[in-house]
Amino acid sequence: MSDYDFDLFVIGAGSGGVRAARVASGYGAKVAIAEESRVGGTCVIRGCVPKKLLVYGAHFAEDFEDASAYGWALPGEPTFSWKTLIANKDKEIDRLNGIYHKLLAGSNVTLFEHRATFKDAHTVVVDGKDVTAERILIAVGGHPTTPDIPGAEHAITSNEAFHLEEQPKRIVVVGGGYIAVEFAGIFAGLGSQVTQLYRSEQILRGFDNDIRNHLAEEIVKKGVDLRVNTNVTAITKQSDGTLKLTLTGGGEMEVDAIMFATGRAPNTKGLGLEQVGIDTKDNGAIKINKGLQTSVENIYAVGDVTDHVQLTPIAIKEGMAFADTIYGGKPSAMSYHAIPTAVFSQPPVGTVGLSEEEARAKGGEVVIYKSTFKPMRHTLSGRDEKTLMKLIVDKTTDVVLGAHMVGPDAAEIIQGIGIAVRMGATKAQFDQTVAVHPSAAEEFVTMRFPVGD
């Protein structure tokens, strides 16, 4: 009989923690999990899932506008209800939260709906009681941060954006990453006057430069007032409830809301890591080795709390790798090679593998294939939107190093392309693949002439 209450105790019931707990339990381990908020974590409760629902909602205005070109006559001017969208979104999140509860129960995982903190390397304190475990997995995720400027308390983050009682007529979104461009598109699509501010030269730092520049042009076409090299230095709440923003360079703006999407931090504060000597980075993220192990032998960490790759599918993969290795007898080393990812901007971005800049920085010669075209869906409506597709190919080996896209269905298309890139497919093999016609995806297998030829 074990000397511990559980074989595994998981702190945090988000995507990575829940997957690890269920898989470990399936292998016969006695597992418990603790969650101080709602089961499901950032992605399900206040991240990708509700965000994607809002993205869907934001598309309808353009669809209504384009409908007449396809023979549809609407009975009147369409109207939008923010309250209805948010209420229906909340119902779906409640449903998913319930499913996660059932999944844990069905997997024989004991759920503690309380905060868990460390007492020692094998003990956590939950609701004032000590609980022991042979191994502990930290999967507490992260949270959005706000800059330290005067009036920052008047701003919102993505957490609060999902629960606004009223849709802001004028909103400033500060930031240039995934979350910022996605919410700028959401609010603009739903009819708000949107200004996006970014302190650097161009949005989506780290992405292929052609993708960055193309998306910037497209979101401006859709009504977002994008201002780069610009930031907010102070926020003042006025007597009528509006906000006055002071910008770098001394300019001012008056808005109804300001949302910061300028970064996230790991949820390690107050966790008691110092009690057991777990090494952390300067920002509080937990340091791990290739086996997802912390500096304490029996304690592991997965997901955003490590500040490694902040993507839900990565947290899930890490959770599975941990459980397979420790409890399943199936050593599973994590690979972070050629991770497909999408930005649900409007239009969306899909990308996998190296950007042109990354490929060139590695020193080898590369060949670039690129195509820009009007999506077929816009040929009748006349909407001025262009799709960009790009391949980066190793000149010596002909291996496709990266694939990138801005345009409708980018996320759906890049998932399949990701398999090919991860397997090391060559440009010749792309060329040998029969195209699905008519489709945007076929462009990835029909680009024959490199840029410059």
CB-based contacts of 402, cutoff 8 Å, min separation 6: 208, 351, 352, 353, 354, 355, 356, 358, 359, 390, 391, 392, 421
3-state secondary structure string, 352-378? Answer: EECCHHHHHHCCCCEEEEEEEECCHHH
Catalytic residue among 101, 122, 404, 437: 437
- 437 catalytically annotated: yes
Burial 179-191 (b: 16+ CB within 10 A, else e): bbbbbbbbbbbbe
Its sign, for the CA torsion 176, 177, 179, 183, is positive
Find tokens 């801005």 and name the residue.
406
Cα–Cα dist 446/389, whole Å: 11
Q: Which two tokens stand for residue 105?
A: 């129960």
Indicate the SS3 state at residue 260.
Answer: strand
Report the relative pairing of strands 31-34 and 6-11 from DSSP bridges. parallel
Tell me the H-state helices in 5-150: 15-26, 41-46, 48-67, 82-106
> Residue 375, Cβ neighbours under 10 Å: how many?
15
Q: Which residues are catalytic?
A: 437
